[in-house]
A and B are shown apart, each in its own frame.
Chain A
C-alpha cells in the first residue's frame, strides 16, 4: 500500500484579479482525517473544488492511488471515489430526502429490458438503511425542505457516505450543527475511518480539529504553509501559522466613542414562525454592534427585515426618536440606513456594470441637472473620490466590477452606501471571501466610519473578527436574541454558549 492515497502537487489556480492558489500541495494518508486550515480566502475551498472537478486547475498534478489522474467534473470525481460535502448546501428542498441522496445515480430497473426507470422502492429502502446505519432518524420520503439546515447538512454527509467514497471532502461540515449533531458527525467520521476511508476536513474550529484530525495542513493567502501531525500542534501554533503574523496586528485600533441611542428595535417579529422573533436591541451613535450566531440563526433575515426586504408581523423600529415603518429598502435608505448584503454576487454587485455605475446607482437622485438629466461630471467626481478614499484598485472607473477582486468589489459597495451618507450601516459578513490584506483594509474602513460617528451593525460568522472589532456583541440562536456580551465577556466560549442556547 502506498504511503498516500492522494497527493496534490504544485496546484495553481487564478481567477480574474486574484491568484487563488499558488503551488499548493496536499498529502493524504489512507484511513486518516486530514484537516485543511487557513483563514477565509486562503484557498481551501478552491483547492477542494479543483480536487472535486468543479474548477480546472491551471497547473499541478493529482496522484490518486499511485496514479496520475485528471478529474474532469464532479461526476468523474464521484466515479473515482471522491465525494464532497459542500460548504454551501445545494439541496433540492422540494424533493424527498432519498431523491436528494441519490440525485444523478438513481437505482434503476429496466422495463422490457429497454426503458430505464427509477426504482423508487429500492431507493427508499436503501436510504432508510443508510440513515438508520448513521443513526439519523429521518423519513426517506420526507421533503428535504422540511428539515432544519443542520439536519440537511447531515443528509448531505449521508449522501457522501452512500457514494462508497475512498475520500470524503467535508467543507465546514459543522458550521450549522449543534453540539449533539457534531457528536453524530464525529461518530460517522470514525466509522468511515474504520472502513479505510480518508477524510479531508475543512473547519475553523480549533478544538474540533485537534479532537478529530490526525494531520493538519495549513494554507495562507493561496499558498501551502506545511503539514503537521495534530498531536504536535496547539491552537496558538495553528493560528500563528494561519495568520503569519502576531494576532495583535489583526485589527486596527478603534477610536470610536459610542454615544446616545439612535436606533431602537423592539419585539421585532417575522411573519414566518421559524424566522426572527421578539428581537429587541439598541444601537448607539458611533457604536460597532457585532451580531453572532450559527448558520440558521436568522441574523441575515433580521437585518433584511429591518431594511424592508422582508415582512415583519409586529415590532417597532424607533430611529432618532421617531417610529419608522420600513416597508421597502427605499424607505430605509431615505432615513439614513444602509445594508451591505451577505451575498455580494447575488444582491450586492451589478456584475456587468462599471465601477462608476455600481458606486452611483443608489444616489443618482442627488446628481440631477434640470431634474431629469444626470450630471456626469459630478458623478465622476464622486466615484474618483471614493476610489481614492477607500483605495479601490481598478484599472479605470469604467471597468466592469466583476473583473475586480472580492475585496475591491466590497469597497465599491461600501462606497455606494457612503454616497448616501447613512447614519446606520448594517454590514452582513463584510469580509466574506476576501483575502487577508483586504480584510484589514475593510476593518480600517469600519473603524474609521465608527470614529466619524456612524453606527455599524456587523454580522460575522468569524468570532475573532467580531471580538476584535465590536464594542458589543448580540448573539442570536434560532431566530431569537439570546444575549449581549461586552468587555471581558467577549470570548468564544460565552458566545458559543449563547449561540447554541436553544439547540437540541
Chain B
C-alpha cells in the first residue's frame, strides 16, 4: 500500500537539497575556482565538525527533544582544549607553569566536561520533565557563563603544533583525506551502528515514535534519554576539541549558533522534528548541503551578516517542509 510518489511530491520532499545543490552548481559556473581542490578540502573540514555536532543533536531531535546548548558546549570544549594545549614557549600562556599535557588526557578532560553537561540536560529533561527547549536554552546560558568565567573573556592562542596538525594534516598528505574528515567518518559509522544495530538505537526511535507506547513496552525511557543527551555531550566535546585545533585558537564566542546549524542540517537531511525519523546518512547529506550553500554564498561575495538571514530562512523552510509530510490530510 505504498503511497505512489509523484514527481511533484518527490521534488517537494527533497526541495531543500535540490535547491542548494542547484545553487552550488550555479555558483560553480559563475566562479570556476569554486570547484578547486582547496575549496573542496575546506568544505570537508567544515562539514566534518558540523556533522559531529549534528549527529549529537540528532538523537535529541529523534526523541522529540532538542539541544540548544550544543553550540555553547562546543565553544566551552574548544576553550578548555585550547587552554591546555598551548605551546610551552608561548608568551601569554593561561597557566604559565603548566607543562605539556598528553593530548589524549586533554581530550578525555574535555569529553568529561561536555558529557557532564549532557548528563545534566538529560536529568532535567527526563526526571524533572522540563521541556527540552527550555531546559537546554537555560543550559546554553549557563555554559556560556561558565566559559566566560573560565577564560576571563580572553582569547586563547599559541596552540601546540601537534594539536593544530589534527586539523591541517591529512593521511599520506592526500588532500582528499584530511584527518578531520576521517574522524567524522569513523564517528558517523559508529553512530550508524548505534542507531541501527543496538537496542538503544531502536529504543530511541521508539521513544520518538510514541513515548507512551515505549513506556508500555517496558522501555526505560529515562535511561535511554539520559544516554542520548550524554552521547550528544560526547559529540560536542569531540567537535569542540577539533574546532579548537581547526581555528588555531579559541574564544568565548566560539560555537555560537552552531546548534541551529546542526538542527538545520538534521532537518534538511530528513530528521523529523516530529520524532521517530532520521538517518545518519541523511544527516551527512543535510550538513554537507548546508555547508555547500554557505561556501557558495561566500564565493558570491555575500556579506556574512546576510548569510545569517539566509541560514535562518533555510532552517524555517526546512522544518515547514518536514512538518508538511506529517500533517494528516483529513
Interface residues of chain A, those whose CB is within 8 Å of chain B, are 16-17, 54-56, 307, 309, 328-330, 332-334, 339, 341, 346-353, 357, 360-362, 364-365, 368, 372-374, 376, 395, 399, 403-404, 416
Contacts and interface: CB of A to CB of B under 8 A. Distances in A.
A329 B2 CA distance: 34
A341 B216 contact: yes
B202 A374 contact: yes
Given A56-B330, A347-B215, A353-B276, 20 more contacts: A16-B3, A330-B219, A332-B218, A333-B217, A347-B210, A347-B212, A347-B213, A348-B210, A350-B209, A350-B213, A351-B210, A352-B209, A352-B276, A353-B209, A362-B218, A364-B202, A374-B197, A374-B199, A376-B197, A399-B2
A365 B216 contact: no
A362 B215 CA distance: 10
B210 A361 contact: no
Contacts of B330: 54-56
Contacts of A329: 215-218
Q: Which of B210, B214, B215, B274 has the most CB of A within 10 A?
A: B210
B217 A373 contact: no
Contacts of B212: 346-347
A94 to B, nearest CB: 18
B218 A350 contact: no
Contacts of A404: 1
Given A56-B330, A353-B276, A347 B205 contact: no
Interface of B: 1-3, 193, 197-199, 202-203, 205-206, 208-210, 212-220, 272, 274-277, 330
Given A361-B202, A364-B199, A368-B199, A351 B1 contact: no
Nearest to B208: A352
A361 B208 CA distance: 13
A368 B199 CA distance: 8
B325 to A, nearest CB: 10
A309 B197 contact: no
B126 to A, nearest CB: 14
Contacts of A341: 213, 216
18 contacts: A16-B1, A54-B330, A329-B217, A330-B218, A332-B218, A347-B212, A348-B213, A350-B214, A350-B276, A351-B276, A352-B208, A361-B202, A362-B217, A362-B219, A368-B199, A374-B198, A403-B2, A403-B3
A353 B208 CA distance: 10
7 tightest Cβ-Cβ pairs between the two chains A and B: A350-B209, A347-B212, A333-B218, A362-B217, A330-B218, A364-B199, A352-B276
A334 B217 CA distance: 11
A276 B208 CA distance: 31
A127 B128 CA distance: 40
A350 B206 contact: yes
Contacts of B208: 352
A346 B203 CA distance: 17
A353 B206 contact: yes
Contacts of A374: 197-199, 202
A372 B216 contact: no
Contacts of B218: 328-330, 332-334, 362
B217 A361 contact: yes
A333 B214 CA distance: 13
A346 B211 CA distance: 9
Nearest to A49: B330
A16 B199 CA distance: 30
A350 B199 contact: no
A365 B199 contact: yes
A330 B216 CA distance: 8
A185 B225 CA distance: 48
A395 B209 contact: no
Nearest to B272: A352
Contacts of B275: 352
Given A329-B217, A395-B1, A372 B198 contact: yes
Nearest to A56: B330
A368 B202 CA distance: 13
A78 to B, nearest CB: 18
A416 B197 contact: no
Contact of A416 (B199, B217, B220, B277): B217
B1 A399 contact: yes
Q: Which of A339, A352, A357 has the most CB of B within 10 A?
A: A352
Contacts of B3: 16, 403
Nearest to B212: A347
Nearest to B200: A372
